Amino acid sequence: MNTLRLMYRGEQHFDFPKLWRPALIGSLLLVLLSIGSLATRGLNLGIEFEGGTSWEVEAPGTSVGDAREALSGTDAAAGKIQVLGGDSIRLRADLDEADAIADVTEVMAELGGVAISEVSVTTVGPSWGDQITEKARNALIWFFIIVAGYIAIRLEWKMAVGAVVAVAHDILISVGVYSVFQFEVTPATVIAFLTIMGYSLYDTIVVYDKVREISGRLTGTGRYTYNEMMNLALNQVLMRSINTSITSMLPVASMLFVGSFFLGALTLQEFAIALLIGIVVGSYSSIFLASSLVAFMKSREEQYLAIARKVEARGHTGDGTRAVSTDDIALGRTASRPARATADRPRATSAPPRPRKKKKR
């Protein structure tokens, strides 16, 4: 409980720079695994991208095996069959000829014991998927250009590089998970991927804003290296990042388990899985990837190299990251409400309180 309380106050000292190297190796392995899966297995694209026809009918108690056996004499025998919500059957097949579609529709109606008019049939041409792919690609390119330009102007270009790399890392791993497990990629999934980029960027900007605030106040003291100031910033935003991730994951998890698994809304499942993966990966990358890249570039600037040499000359061997002192933490803090004094943590003040004026009689 004491550790949790210190984390909420931003005073817990986790040595994040010590974890950056193994985290980067893990990220590199995941990225390579994603690229390898995309190259060998590809993505399971929905009919919106590949074109084809989808049938859906209520058939309580019918299994995938029953449906496949009933469709064995049609051109859709090798189609994708799913059971939705336990009482509906969805079939997707690469068919666009009217006679073949009519035959399959008749079989699906017999399977559900309903009239042909009660079978939901949707036919999509491949050109529609091409348009979506092109628009998604353009949106991705413009997103990276605008984000990089904004961060470079608002903060600095080195932070823009770290943010863009972290977002690309998140998207690549999220898409890689879809490739490894062969989750179906639909337009809803693409929207979720674009949403992931916004979330990942938000979490990274929070870290950047904190480290810029701390470095602006502590660099002048000449007592701390850039990695130590970055470590302080990460410790101060850690609990906020965890809380934001948990509050973001709760509605998404509800949408996934209640909406899709219990109510059978497959579109929610396609959307929620991508969001859930993106929130987890985005929270990780802002702490371990974006921050480490920025620290690597900034610590090589002349002013921070000079500070590092001074710190080394004072006897610090470089074994682990030093914690910033309590008084300097107060210097780097900009909380609107000062920390409450306790017996073991006296208030950090540099001047005694002013005496109160006596009232005139």
Eight-class DSSP state of 186: -
What integer is the mean pLDDT of 286-301?
90
Strands (DSSP E) contained in 12-98 are: 44-45, 52-58, 80-84, 88-93
229 contacts 240 by C-beta, under 8 angstroms: no
Overall pTM surpassing 0.95 (yes/no): no
Task: Tell me the CB-side half-sphere exposure of residue 204, using CA atoms within 13 A.
Answer: 35
197-234: string of b/e by CB count within 10 Å (b at 16+)? bebbbebbbbbbebbbbbbeebbeeebbbbbbbbbbbb
239: helix, strand or coil:
helix
Radius of gyration over alpha carbons of the chain, in Å? 28
Q: Is the pLDDT of residue 31 over 90?
A: yes
Identify residue 317 by its one-letter amino acid code. Answer: T
Taking each helix axis from N to C terminus, what angle separates 226-254 and 2-9, rounded to the nearest 10 degrees? 110
DSSP assigned state of 117: G
- Is residue 356's pLDDT more than 70? no
Residues 171 and 185 sit within 8 Å (Cβ to Cβ):
no
Across 49-53, 144-148, 203-207, 294-298, the highest mean pLDDT is recorded for 294-298
Q: Which residues make Cβ contacts (< 8 Å) with residue 63, sequence separation at least 6?
A: 83
Which residues, 6+ apart, have CB-to-CB distance to 210 below 8 Å? Answer: 233, 236, 237
Q: Average pLDDT for residues 45-54, to the nearest whole number?
A: 80
- The pair of structure tokens assigned to 86 is 């336990």
Digit-coded pLDDT (tens) for 126-162: 666 677 778 878 888 888 888 888 888 888 889 989 9
Decide: 89 and 83 in contact? Cβ < 8 Å.
yes
What values do phi and psi take at 116, rounded to 5? -60, -35
pLDDT of residue 9: 67
Place of tokens 């480490």: 292
Mean pLDDT of the chain: 80
Q: For 42, left (φ over 0), alpha (ψ -120 to 50), or beta?
A: left
Is 167 or 317 the better-scoring residue by pLDDT?
Answer: 167
Lowest mean pLDDT among 42-51, 280-289, 348-357: 348-357
Contact 311, 218 (CB under 8 A): no
- What are 147's two structure tokens? 């984000």
- How do residues 93-106 score in pLDDT, each as one tens digit? 888 788 888 888 88
In this predicted model, what pLDDT tens digit does every residue of 61-99 receive, in sequence order?
888 888 888 888 888 887 888 777 667 888 888 887 888
Nearest of 281, 185, 177, 292 to residue 233 by alpha carbon: 292
| Exposed / middle / buried, residue 302 (Cβ in 10 Å: 0-12, 13-18, 19+) | exposed
**pLDDT tens by residue, 172-220:** 998 999 899 888 888 778 888 878 788 788 888 888 888 888 888 888 8
